[in-house]
Amino acid sequence: MSETENPTTPPDSTPIDSTRIDSTPSDQFDFDLFVIGTGPGGEGAAMQARKGGMRVGVAERYRQIGGGCTHWGTIPSKALRYTITNVMNVLKNPMFRELGIHATPSMEQLRRGTASIIAKQVSMRQSFYDRNSVPIFSGTASFVDEHTIQIHGENYTSKNFVIATGSRPYRPSSVDFSHPRIFDSDTILDVKDRPSSITIYGAGVIGTEYASMFRNLGIKVNLVNTRSKLLEFLDEEIIDALAYHLRDQGVVLRHDEAVERIEGCDDGVILHLKSGKQLKTDILLWANGRSGNTEELGLENVGLTPNSRGQLEVDEQFQTAQPNIYAVGDVIGYPSLASAAYTQGRAAAMHMLGRIDGNLRINDIPTGIYTSPEISSVGKTERELTAACIPYEVGHSQFKSLARAQITGSTVGMLKLLFHRDTKEILGVHCFGANASEIIHIGQAVMSGPCNSLEYFIETTFNYPTMAEAYRVAALNGYNRLF
């Protein structure tokens, strides 16, 4: 599971239309819905279906619930990032330097608070299942047929299923992950000694996030990108800003590269590239793709075949080729966000409950990338609007001009509004800077409402000083471009 935001806790009072598409009585089954996996996607499906009156069961192969999001991805990596950012900001503060305070925290010290956060998340999420009377079966679930699964030799039947088994780092056979200096995104969180240098192979979301994190610790970073640009799905201006600031922080970017072989040594790791370059660092992080967890599901028994990366194909309602079997989250691939998985799970359950359109806005899910600074966006990019021949204009707000950013010292970044030059409708919002993943939701709310117009930001009074004021500044900047 890709590292992104924490899914929202479901309200107990969610209004549900419990009319099902297929009204055939399901008393012949043990459950109306059986969910495989307790990550964000599985939790969203289970809670939504249960609140709609369905009998729900859940399987989890690991000892604790929460999936990769809670134990290996989103929560531990973001907790570590937060600790690193705060600790290094303090250590770099001139006042502490004047007092002669110098420290080099170990990786163990930086990780110390993560376990307690994970424990709180597990306890909270366990309470959701307990108070909604959803039984959790411990063990690996495997399909016997389209209405039956087996766990530890016991068979359970269900009218519908949701596969929410998540993903894991892609591990090519040519890379020796047993070497103590070679890591993937799951094992890197357990690195014992603080390295002085690291090579990260793969410059996707996970690769860029870890590049920022390690560089903030003062570690030398090589970020090797197999493509010509970073995070090509983002707006071009955001891509350029990210590349500039990574380089400004000291990260060495290498684009359009491909691995030839990886040589693990006693004192480091040598990455041999097909271009002839050789990069030697203390450790190497392989961050080049993920694989869906589908091998042990017995999919051959229900006529489903995952792709080469173990991912399942689904339709707009998250149904697989077997209509009563749905799949959500990382196991279906893009966008591979914890937030998206949760919403997809709810959408799948609502479809079973008879609400084909659950108004969940699954096509307007914002990106949340926890680099330093953060990146978040929702809606169209300039590239997409230009290709579609939509007349648009741009409004900018530079964080360095905002009083709140000056007060907090978070002056790197910008907010960018894309709007239709005739109707003034907001078409896209792109943010790069501190708290971007929070700031974006103001734009998201306006875009989805009846007052979607640039004028909303011009006419609305924002607290001063705040980062939210960036919307008014950007709106006025864009409005002044019209003629």
- pLDDT tens track for 43-87: 999 999 999 999 999 999 999 999 999 998 999 999 999 998 888
Residue 85 labeled ligand binder: no
Question: Which pLDDT value is given to residue 89?
Answer: 80
Q: What is the C-alpha separation between 230 and 13, in angstroms, rounded? A: 42
Residue 329 labeled ligand binder: no
Residue 205 labeled ligand binder: yes
Task: State the DSSP H helix or E strand holding residue 220, giving kind and residue range, or none if neither.
Answer: strand 220-224
Query: 384 and 273 share a domain?
Result: no
Query: 279 and 417 share a domain?
Result: no
Of 330, 365, 400, which residue constitutes the final position of a domain?
Answer: 365
Query: 16 and 146 share a domain?
Result: yes
Residue 363 has pLDDT above 90, yes or no: no
CATH of the domain at 426: 3.30.390.30
Residue 166 labeled ligand binder: yes
Query: 160 and 51 share a domain?
Result: yes
Residue 197 labeled ligand binder: no
Residue 14 labeled ligand binder: no
What is the average pLDDT score of the chain? 91
Q: Give the domain range for residue 405.
A: 373-479
Residue 209 labeled ligand binder: yes
- Identify the burial level of 253 via C-beta atoms within 10 angstroms of its C-beta, where 0-12 means exposed, 13-18 middle and 19 or more buried: middle
Closest-CA residue to 291 (of 39, 97, 68): 68
- Average pLDDT, stretch 351-378? 85
Residue 354 labeled ligand binder: no
Residue 289 labeled ligand binder: yes
Query: 311 and 331 share a domain?
Result: yes
Kind of pairing, strands 426-433 and 413-420? antiparallel
Kind of pairing, strands 367-369 and 136-138? unpaired
**pLDDT tens track for 279-331:** 999 999 999 999 999 999 999 999 999 999 999 999 989 999 999 999 999 99
Task: Please check whether residue 367 is in contact with residue 335, taking contact to mean a CB–CB distance below 8 angstroms.
Answer: yes
Query: 284 and 384 share a domain?
Result: no
Residue 207 labeled ligand binder: yes
175 inside domain: no
Q: Domain tally for the chain?
A: 3
**pLDDT tens track for 369-409:** 999 899 999 999 999 999 999 999 999 999 999 999 999 98
Residue 369 pairs with which residues in a beta bridge?
Answer: 375
Q: What is the pTM of this model?
A: 0.89
Residue 165 labeled ligand binder: yes
Of 365, 389, 406, which residue constitutes the final position of a domain?
Answer: 365
Query: 46 and 156 share a domain?
Result: yes
Of 334, 365, 396, which residue constitutes the final position of a domain?
Answer: 365
